[in-house]
Amino acid sequence: MYGTSAKILRVDLTQREIRTEILPEDFYRLYPGGKALAGYILLNEMKAGVDPFSPENVLVIANGLLTGAPVSTATRYIVSARSPLTLGYGESEAGGFWGPELKMAGFEAVVVKGRASEPLYLWIHDGEAELKSASHLWGRLTAEVQEAIRAELGDEKIRVLQIGPAGEKLVRFAGLTNDLRHFNGRNGLGAVMGSKNLRAVAVRGSQRYQSFAADPEALMALGRKLAKGVKENPISWDLQDKGTLGIVEPMNAGGILPTRNFRQGAFEAVDEVKWDAYEKQLLTARRSCYACAVRCKREVAVNGRVSEYGGPEYETLGAFGPNCGISDLQAIAQANELCNAYMLDSISTGATISFAMECFEHGLLTLKDTGGIDLRFGNAQAMLAMVEMIARREGLGDLLAEGSRRAAEKIGGDAAFFAMQVKGQELAMHEPRGKYNVGMGYAISEIGADHLVVAHDTALVNPESLQFKGATALGITKALPARSFGREKMEHFYTLERWNSLEKVIGYCFFGPTPRSYIAVEDVITSINAASGWSLSVEDALLIGERATNMARIFNLREGFTRKDDTLPERLFQGLENGSLQGCALPRDEFEESLSILYALKGWDPQTGIPTSEKLRALSLDWAAVMLPQG
């Protein structure tokens, strides 16, 4: 009994074969789900240099150890493969109900290989699985497909994880959605699934997590405690009240709201897009993920009708709003609907359109290139048109569907300067010039720019804050300025990166554990041990997170990534044009020096970023040494 059925469903689409594998406990102790399990499978079952759109790419969908447990925010699963956007390790997490339903159906992960000769979907139900034709679903929007699958299988409670038309057309930042409201958006993994002619994975199960847990009573008691604790903590209570949208106004005041393709840190029309406006113009209801008391999801009305795709969260609002110079909330909500119907990553879509807007304003793109669309900052109708053109790969949208880095290479001139990306993936809507460790996270992340590598600097600047006090159990005892680098800051980063990586292994949402939210370190450890029957310490748990991060690093090194890829867009080393941090820039020398310090703290060569043999032994990753660059 270790919190899992230990069953992996293996699907060969080429041969149309399905089989079940059972993992032993000694394996599961090292790779207990999520990011760790996915990293192990990708390294061991896929050779280097595989084209992301080839049948040889391996697609892994893996629950965390705690996914589906009766504990608030334990809902997450991971999708992983070689990314068509970055050509490196690809990863994207989502919450919702699909992961818990997969657990209830008796499986921890689905590993997909090969390519089907025709469109298919996978139907998993209570320990069984079968492939069914999806030819009638190909080309249809996500809401239509979910309805059709449920009707065909005769059960409205079936959970459907699917790609959309964007994934079918191999848009390099196409994602996946479950229940139309929860998204594996980043890294283009929907395009990988589309390349395999797999449209959806439908799941229905009847087991409960308690049947897998070593101490179900302890787990349920903790669940009751955490459900009550949501309203007692101002951080989680604010997330329940406003969702992620509550940060728009304070970020603008702090000069760190990305505006007009990260040129500026404040938006002059912020009053039109902040929470108060959102609540009045869009909000219709608050929703949740499985067994989660935080309830951060928003339901909205778009043009007078309740959207079946949910409402835009902060990242989507930031990407299509201030970063495109747009203050029209209805247009932003429409862009969110379009992304979810076609299944595009809203961050990369909005950021790529923002990039194109700057190229247009500098004459690198013309009306001829855009098909007559006046693609300037602030033009909401142009933005909406471009979302659809990207999803359909029509006109300029075909180029932008390749992502901003590839588009910049094709456009030429100064376009590369306007592409706000790392390793090919566009930046999320968080400004590193005001949060230095966010910038370091963008640079060092194995999946390209990712804002969920560590807790953000602003959480740990005040020693009296609940967030800082929560982090002390991880060994963080000194508050440091948000705008700082150096050894102490990198020590924070090293600890927080391992903690965040652990969350991606065990299935906790970023809005659950401290320091981002309200679940104490000791409660996280209690939940792991109650589920598994193990006796892990905090340090043991951090080691699990670190092992997962190192496997992802090894994957990228095997694919030819080097230190030069751990960098940031040139614009971030230049001053912001406006806001309370006007003129502030990241200090390049301090960034490079701190990167070397961080490498050393992580047990990597300070010059190359390659894990040392000592570090591999400490992480029980000796077997991966042969995959590292030699000499």
Q: Is 41 left (phi over 0), alpha (psi -120 to 50) or beta?
A: alpha
Predicted confidence (pLDDT) at residue 250 exceeds the cutoff of 70: yes
Which residues are within 8 A (CB) of 210 and not within 5 positions of it... i.e. 6 or more apart? 70, 216, 219, 220
Q: Which amino acid is at 162?
A: Q
Same domain, 198 and 258: no
Write down the pTM of the prediction.
0.98
The 10s digit of each residue's pLDDT in 382-425 is 999 999 999 999 999 999 999 999 999 999 999 999 999 999 99
Question: Using one digit for the tens of pLDDT, what is the confidence trace for 167-188?
Answer: 999 999 999 999 999 999 999 9
Residues 441 and 406 in one domain: no
Same domain, 381 and 465: no
In the predicted model, what is the mean pLDDT of residues 345-370?
Answer: 98
Q: What is the pLDDT of residues 360-381, one digit of tens each?
A: 999 999 999 999 999 999 999 9
Say whether both 453 and 593 belong to one domain.
Answer: yes
The length of the chain, given as a count of residues: 631
Q: Which of 228, 183, 205 is nearest to 72 (CA)?
A: 228
Pairing of strands 305-306, 198-204: unpaired
Q: For the segment 579-628, what is each residue's pLDDT rounded down to a tens digit?
A: 999 999 999 999 999 999 999 999 999 999 999 999 999 999 999 999 99
User: pLDDT at residue 488 above 80?
Assistant: yes
pLDDT of residue 3: 84
The DSSP-derived string for 14-42 is TTTEEEEEE--HHHHHHS-BHHHHHHHHH
Are residues 205 and 265 located together in one domain of the fold?
no
d(CA 142, CA 338): 10
pLDDT at 1: 58
Residue 239: inside a domain, yes or no? no
Residues 422, 567: contact at Cβ < 8 Å?
yes
89 and 122 together in one domain: yes
115 pLDDT tier (thresholds 50, 70, 90): very high
Question: Could you tell me if 202 and 291 lie in one domain?
Answer: no
- The proportion of the chain whose per-residue pLDDT surpasses 70, expressed as a percent, equals 100
Q: What is the pLDDT of residue 2?
A: 74
What's the domain count of the chain? 3
User: How many CA atoms within 13 Å lie on the side-chain side of 586?
Assistant: 29
Separation in Å, CA 212 to CA 32, 67, 103, 280, 615: 14, 11, 9, 44, 33
For residue 264, the domain's CATH number is 1.10.569.10
The CATH number of residue 33's host domain is 3.60.9.10
CA atoms of 74 and 451, how far apart (whole Å): 20
Tens digit of each residue's pLDDT (9 = 90 or more) over 18-58 = 999 999 999 999 999 999 999 999 999 999 999 999 999 99
Q: Which amino acid is at 485?
A: F
Q: Are residues 440 and 404 in the same domain?
A: no
pLDDT band at 452 (very low <50, low <70, confident <90, very high): very high
Q: Is the dihedral of CA 367, 166, 288, 147 positive or negative?
A: positive
Residue 590, in any domain of the structure: yes
C-alpha 580: how far from its chain's center? 29
Query: Is residue 244 a part of any domain in this protein?
Result: no
Question: Which amino acid does the sequence have at 585?
Answer: A
Same domain, 518 and 563: yes
**Where a domain ends, among 413, 445, 461?**
413
Structure tokens at 204: 């229905």
Phi, psi of 406 (to 5 degrees): -70, -40
Q: Are 436 and 486 in contact (CB under 8 A)?
A: no
Nearest to 508 by CA among 28, 185, 33, 9: 33
Q: Contact at 8 Å (CB) between 390 and 191?
A: no
| 517 and 582 together in one domain | yes
Same domain as 442, residue 323: no
Report how far residue 373's alpha carbon sits from residue 357's, in angstroms, rounded to the nearest whole number: 11
Is the model's pLDDT at 271 over the cut of 90? yes
Q: How far is CA 53 from CA 58, 130, 192, 415, 557, in A?
A: 10, 23, 6, 26, 20
The token duo for 6 is: 């230990």
Task: Using the 3D structure, point to which of 378, 413, 448 is the last residue of a domain.
Answer: 413
Residue 481: inside a domain: yes
Domain assignment present for residue 382? The answer is: yes
Confidence of residue 443 (pLDDT cuts 50, 70, 90): very high
The parent domain of residue 311 ranges over 254-413
Local confidence band at 121 (pLDDT 50, 70, 90 cut-offs): very high
Give the pLDDT of residue 630.
83
Distance CA 47, CA 561 (A): 15
> Quick one: 453 and 401 in the same domain?
no
Residue 249 is assigned to a structural domain of this protein:
no
Give the pLDDT mean for 98-122: 98
On whether the CB atoms of residues 60 and 44 are closer than 8 A, the answer is no
Percent helix, percent strand, percent coil in the chain, to nearest 5: 45, 15, 40
